[in-house]
Structure 1
């Protein structure tokens, strides 16, 4: 406690009071602030450092080398039952458009969403895109989660990524 007391003298300038009770009371009343006021809710930093928190050398070092440089892309979410896109008919994809950047991005997003879910298949309407695109993949890892009797009854075998 004494250390804290001495440390506070280093941070704050010394203040001397004239012990006139009327002046002391006015000082007390003028320095009060409400606990729920904006000054209390965000008091600001207690200390400021002379160095910046990160530099180009420091931010690129460490366990997560290069993570700060990547663009963080958000994946589409799987829509909930009852969503209107699930009730409308999906449109066919023109064969000439399959190689386009737009369709390839949709397919890449679908594969990532399917693997993150995790699942063995995903249709484009399930992520809010009314197109007739389906991705399927059943790996040994996914099969290992199912009960042995179920695997045998379904004659379930792993297969690589398929796109329809």
Structure 2
């Protein structure tokens, strides 16, 4: 049993590392001077900083999500206290968080807005896409018993981030900070 669990953790770690490195590539390209319009002005400049209430809302969303996840997926609570590959993967996931927020909030919601979809449709599609994307981690990692909880929690989180994005005047900065 222990060997299978270790093998599954290594497999999950390898998949997450590979995906994180892949997701880091556009950020790296931007950092070395290749300007990618999607990554321009992520909301941290003085002229585009999100309103103060957006930051308070995103702090509340972050705390609520962490508490919910610790209760709904006990494995996450257990592993967060361990110095392990799990924490390395968490660090690498920060990179993924930046890219995910740019894709699921800025790109997807702005695309829907450009096609004249209302804010409810933007929130629903962004949240559902976010939830489905995170279910893939569970499928790859072989942790199928947590799929329902992961889908529900990340979909709700996706809805919350979409609302924060809209309340912040389409500023993705608070979502990136919370996600990371």
* Structure with the greater alpha carbon radius of gyration: 1
Q: Would the TM-score normalized by the shorter structure come out above 0.5?
A: no
Q: TM-score, normalised by structure 2?
A: 0.20
- Give the structure with the larger helix fraction: 2
Higher relative contact order (CA 8 A, sep 6+): 2
**Greater per-residue strand proportion:** 1
